[in-house]
Amino acid sequence: MKLKQRVVLLAILLVIFIFTKVFLIDNSDSSAANREDQHSFQRMMDKLKIELNPNLEHTLQSPWEIAAQWVVPREVYPEDTPELGAILHAMATKKIIKADVGYKGTQLKALLVLEGGQKVVFKPKRYSRSYVVEGEPYAGYDRHNAEVSAFHLDRILGLRRAPVVVGRYVNLHTEIKPVASEQLLSTFLTQGNNSCFYGKCYYCRESEPACADGHIMEGSVILWLPDIWPLQKHRHPWGRTYREGKLARWEYDESYCDAVKKTPPYDSGPRLLDIIDTAIFDYLIGNADRHHYESFQDDGGASMLILLDNAKSFGNPSLDERSILAAVYQCCIIRVSTWNRLNYLKNGVLSTAMRTAMSHDPINPVLTDAHLDAMDRRLMAIIATIKQCIEQFGTDSVLVEDRMKLSHLK
């Protein structure tokens, strides 16, 4: 073989060697990441069932101190939460020492302070479990059980961006009225033998109170985030106009995501991928009402999109509102870790995990079978949407490796 041919052959072999090495390294990194995703999923499944137990071992801290220390820019609570059962128990049982009207908003709620000084938001039951909310996908009152369900879905998806929530029964006569502010107390009334209140909010009306069964009211209790983490409100780029006959740009412009990608904080950092995660989360629960969202203040786009106010969910199990997924099918990107988690939850695993996670909640059963079946069905629609994106743009463009280092992880 001539020298020139040998040089050419060696050059070809060198190129093949380099590409093979790069391919193997990439595959090795990908395989390692996928294995970590599998291990994380298994750890979550192993610890899914939470018994509400007052005992806190190996610590002198209160449940409220522990929960406050959990919060970091990218998580409301860590992956490993052995104290979660004690915190949920405290939220469901601690004495109520103050009660007032809720913070500003459109829906009825009360702001409670529990023994030890912990603020929580109480959302009362307005519907029976089997009630179907007809009309627009964002119609109806808040659903208290939706907040409980959304928290556990957040755990199952591995997002850890929703506040801690638990169901609770309160006696309006003995637990709320004796410690209620004058403003809240002025909204109490009686219908038949049932105690009711209508609170203060944009849509709160004396003619539409929330009523207890006698004096006992079912509701959900949402843990207030620590005051050292002030929130910043943002308009959701895929929010609705809520005006008949007026469409938002994303509803008619299929290239809308290109414009979003050029706009801070979506032009860099994790926020756009958080929007995608949130669209998936909202589609699974049927929440078409996320017109705004919160992050931590002055975060420069680096903190998480916090999954607050999830109560306009689980209204109609027969309605799969595809427009909730607009950010997904218009941007056609998704975190690899989210994609892996969705695939682990196929074949009924999601609904089984939800049942297990909520089995010890005081207001269990939290959801009807129809709503749980709807979650399995919607999951497959999400996976089909991502597969269409992959077919159109390729795996490398659609699946984004974005595993941000969290302070809880070593």
What's the pLDDT score for residue 180?
98
What's the pLDDT score for residue 172?
98
The residues assigned a catalytic role are 289
Element (H, E) at 122: strand 118-124
Q: Express each pLDDT in 24-45 by its tens digit.
A: 444 555 677 788 888 888 888 9
> What are the start-end ranges of the H helices in 200-344?
256-260, 271-285, 326-331, 336-344
Written as six digits, the tokens of 84 are: 């979660």
Q: Which pairing describes strands 165-171 and 188-191: parallel, antiparallel, or unpaired?
A: unpaired
Cα separation, 372 vs 132, whole angstroms: 14
User: Is 224 part of any known ligand binding site?
Assistant: yes
Element (H, E) at 400: strand 399-400
User: Is 223 part of any known ligand binding site?
Assistant: yes
Q: Express each pLDDT in 346-400 by its tens digit.
A: 999 999 999 999 999 999 999 999 999 999 999 999 999 999 999 999 999 999 9
The DSSP string of 318-340 is: T---GGGGHHHHHH--EEHHHHH
Helices 349-358 and 144-157: crossing angle in degrees, nearest 10, is 120
* Residue 245 predicted with pLDDT over 70: yes
What's the pLDDT score for residue 30?
62
Q: Express each pLDDT in 12-23 by its tens digit.
A: 655 555 444 434
User: Is 123 part of any known ligand binding site?
Assistant: yes
Confidence of residue 212 (pLDDT cuts 50, 70, 90): very high
Cα separation, 288 vs 320, whole angstroms: 10
Confidence of residue 4 (pLDDT cuts 50, 70, 90): low
- Altogether, the residues listed in the chain come to a count of 410
Written as six digits, the tokens of 158 are: 């591995």
* Residue 410 predicted with pLDDT over 60: no
User: Is 392 part of any known ligand binding site?
Assistant: no
Residues in contact with 170: Cβ distance below 8 Å, sequence separation at least 6, in sequence order: 96, 122, 176, 216, 217, 219
Per-residue pLDDT, averaged over 122-138, amounts to 95
What's the pLDDT score for residue 24?
42
What's the pLDDT score for residue 23?
45
Per-residue pLDDT, averaged over 401-410, amounts to 48
What's the pLDDT score for residue 17?
52
* Residue 214 predicted with pLDDT over 90: yes
Cα separation, 131 vs 195, whole angstroms: 21
